[in-house]
Structure 1
Amino acid sequence: MANKNLKKGNPLALLPLGVFLLLFIGTGIITKDFYKMPVIVAFTISAAVALLMNREENMEKKVEVFCKGAGETNVILMIVILILAGAFGQVAKEIGGVESTVNLGLSFLPQNLLIVGVFFIACLISLSMGTSMGTIVALAPIAVGISENTGIPVALALGAVVGGGMFGDNLSMISDSTIAAVRTQGCEMADKFKMNFFIVLLPAIITMVLLWVLTPSEQTQISGAHPYEIVKVLPYIGVLIAALSGMNVMLVLAGGIIFSGAIGVVYGNFGVYGLFQAMATGMRNLQDLSVTIIIIGGTVELIKYNGGIDYLLNLITSKMKTKKGAELGIAALVSLVNLSTANNTISILMAGPLAKDISQKYDIDPRRTASLLDIFACCCQGIVPYGAQLLVAAGVASITPIEIMKYLYYPVLTGVFGIISIYLGFPKLKKFKNKSQKNLA
């Protein structure tokens, strides 16, 4: 049976998302303890609500829709990356890589610039790999180690990692979100990069200043020696170099596992079977998160099927009157879809075709539309407490995503400067003619 609510949309289809927010955030506020309601349980309940809705469909059909979303390509790819990242992180940790890397940083970096350095490195890695997830999983253990050795709040350190991860997710030419934005709007990646870069450069600089100023100086004064073995830092350096070369993230992580495993075997940290055990441990550490992502994918697909996303699309487009209003509408459109899907690439793919229609109607440059889609999708993705980025970062340190949110300077500033750029009409563009004549003024 075709869904009758797809054209105008159905606001009730968003109920599962509301149930999740009520259970997870509401319980935390009421009890003053965000550990009371596990994320996986909250989303399982919201998934059950989604399955019970739309009584016009039989349960078999709704389960089929759920499974389609749960097995969507981006969902499975994210889980594979998580599994590889978990294995690499655990193997590198068991050979002493985290301790050596942290001590190396403590030995050479000015102590009041440690977190600034973490943010900057995260920007480089994510820009090269095109994935915030791979960046966060690789750097979060190091950020936690720095926190444990300095007394810097672990949520602040992880906020720097998440912010740096979203920087590259938004800008990288091999990022899924960049590719989705460019393909849906019909412009060149290089032009979209230039558009985004001029908008997000200042937020990145301000973020580094804030991290420097707000890192408590009394908590960065460390006494004593900080011994490290450079050979055990090499896996992280290798991953960084491979990432900067633009290598596929899965190949980067697989190489990191092999490299760190070989060092562990040679230096006697474990035998071959010990290496396999370490890999298994790392994979198991992320199994709850992997299951949560699967449940989120299925729930979002049901919300979409029941008309929730279409309702958001129609709500936004009905308010547009001017060109500037249309640009704000595109920003709001992709933001609301991202808040509903907790996936920036999917939100761009869903909002992109409608955004293109809007840009043609109001004569908005395709490069600008692509830029707005990516900026606001990544801004929202970097701050939603139920997004994979914050869930992963929080899971590494065994804290809640809510604790990290107050330190997410870069994603928030990106959204603010994105809005400012709309009102100022910045950056100025030469007229869009064709693929060979699209340069920033």
Structure 2
Amino acid sequence: MLALAVAGVDVLAVLALGIALAGALGLALKPGYAFATLAGDIYAGFESMVEITLLSMLVGGLGALMREQGGLAWLAQAVARLTRGREGRRAGELGIGALGALADVFTANNTVAVLITGPVAKELAERHGIRPGRSASLLDTFTCVLQGVLPYGAQILLAGSIAGLSPLALAGHVHYCWMLGLATLAGIAFGWPQRRAAAAAEPA
């Protein structure tokens, strides 16, 4: 299933195939496992996801309302104004990171946050001389970091429902996201890997 997902197969097709394959293996290998049991397991799985699905829809709806009413556009303009009087690549990179992170806080959806803030991030990158690839990477990284630690994000809510723990208890233990955020801030502070790339591009 992982190979199909990496190959770009539609997520619904991958999930449906995974359910069918798991059910077939259960029917074939486990004695006494009948179609009625399989149907009951599928229903139990669906039932356990109702709460997280409704909550995710609510958060997504609130994010859409904020976008339609201009709240996120105002946020993007506010971040852009903060960096307008500051020269240098580091200020622009921090502005792009803050823009993506704040947008994700208010939408709880990193994809939506990137789409909303993309044009402003492009403007900041052009003003501060940041390469498009680096700008896109910073925007994506900061939204993903915040998405992974938000207690009301879909990932933490799902993990909490599966583990039977509070999302607040889990958010502080998502070590990968915290380390990724610190590494990205260090990259901005010290110019990694841009300085190395620039040095490699210089003629000998």
TM-score range, shorter chain: 0.7 to 0.9
Structural mapping, 1:128-139, within 5 Å: none
Classify 1:401/1:317 alpha carbon distance in 2 versus 1 (closer, same or farther; 3 Å).
same
Cα distance in structure 2, aligned partners of 1:361 and 1:245? 37
Of Structure 1 and Structure 2, the greater helix share is in 2
Is residue 54 of structure 2 the alignment partner of residue 291 of structure 1?
A: yes
Which residue does the alignment assign to 1:216? Answer: none
Amino acid at match of 1:405: A
| Structure 1 unaligned residues grouped into runs of 5+ | 1-238, 432-439
**Aligned-partner Cα distance in 1 for 2:3–2:137:** 28
Change (3 A) 1:376 1:254: same
Structure 2 counterpart of 1:250: 12
1:261 aligns with 2:23: yes
Note the C-alpha offset of 1:243: 4.0
Q: For residue 146 of structure 2, what is the amino acid of its counterpart?
A: C
Comparing 384-393 with 399-408, greater Cα deviation is found at 399-408
Match of 2:106 among 314, 326, 340: 340
1:290-439 alignment runs, 5 A limit: 290-320=53-83, 321-322=86-87, 323-428=89-194
The residue matched to 1:318 in structure 2 has which SS? helix
Cα RMSD over matched residues?
Answer: 1.9
- Which residue type is aligned with residue 287 of structure 1? V
3-state DSSP of counterpart to 1:303: helix
Amino acid at match of 1:327: E
Q: TM-score, structure 2 length as denominator?
A: 0.88
Alignment of 1:57-76 (within 5 A): none
Identify if the C-alpha distance between structure 1 residues 377 and 269 changes in structure 2 by more than 3 Å, giving closer, same or farther: farther
Structure 1 residues 309, 277: CA separation in 2 closer, same or farther (over 3 Å shift)? Answer: same
Number of matched residues?
195
Tell me, in whole angstroms, the C-alpha distance in 1 between the residues paired with 2:149 and 2:112. Answer: 16
Q: Show the counterpart of 1:54.
A: none
What residue ranges of structure 2 are gaps of 5+ in the alignment?
Answer: none
Higher RCO, Cα 8 Å, sep 6+: 1
Quote how far apart the aligned CAs of 1:245 are.
Answer: 4.7
Query: Structure 1's 298 and 244: CA in aligned 2 closer, same or farther, altered over 3 A?
Result: closer
Q: C-alpha deviations, 1:323-376, integer Å up to 9, x for none?
A: 211110000000000000000111000011111111112221001101101110
1:280 equivalenced with 2:43 (yes/no): yes
Q: Residues of 2 paired with 1:418 and 1:387: CA distance?
A: 21
Superposed, which structure 2 residues align to 1:217-256 within 5 Å?
A: 239-243=1-5, 245-256=7-18
Q: Percent identity?
A: 33
The CA distance in 1 between the partners of 2:45 and 2:138, in whole Å, is 37
Segment drifting more, 341-350 vs 255-264? 255-264
How far apart in 2 are the matches of 1:353 and 1:241?
Answer: 33
- Give the CA deviation at 1:250: 2.4
State the distance in 1 between where 2:179 and 2:98 align: 16
Amino acid at match of 2:133: R
What amino acid maps onto 2:48 in structure 1?
A: N
